[in-house]
Amino acid sequence: MEKKELFVPLYVWLLGGSRIGGTYNTYYGSCTAEPEKSAWGQKVFNYAIYIEKADDRELLKASVYGGLQSFKLAQAAEELTTKVFPCEEESLPEVKAWLEEQRTAFFA
């Protein structure tokens, strides 16, 4: 089985309209151990990449959770693992590397 590369969006996409009074965007992704087959009945690795504002600073976060394909972080609160990164474009390769580690551990 060949693993497909996890997608990480551009930093400017995550910022969304936040710089002009709008909101941030959240990217949701998922994959299975056998991506060439239907996800039906397979374990699904879900992840989200997003920016949160805490006090007067922005935090870049990545969260992972398993189970059924779900695009609601609140539904996965019990299983959620989150890591905080510096909120800057240069953090995205580190986010991707962490997500890859989490996926490998999930399917191990």
Q: Please tell me the pTM assigned to this model.
A: 0.86
Q: How far is CA 75 from CA 30, 41, 68, 72, in A?
A: 15, 19, 11, 5
- Region label for 61, one of left (φ > 0), alpha (ψ between -120 and 50) or beta (otherwise): beta
Position 36 scores a pLDDT of 77
- Give the per-residue pLDDT at 69: 56
Boundaries of every domain in the chain? 11-107
pLDDT at res. 91: 98
- Calculate the average pLDDT of the chain: 87
pLDDT value at residue 66: 79
pLDDT in tens, 9-21: 999 999 999 989 8
Q: What distance in Å separates the CA atoms of residue 35 and residue 28, rounded to the nearest whole number?
A: 16
Tell me what pLDDT residue 74 has.
54
29-73 confidence digits (pLDDT tens)? 988 888 777 777 788 898 999 999 988 899 999 999 877 655 555
pLDDT at 78 over 90: no
Place of tokens 């909120």: 87
Is 99's pLDDT higher than 60?
yes
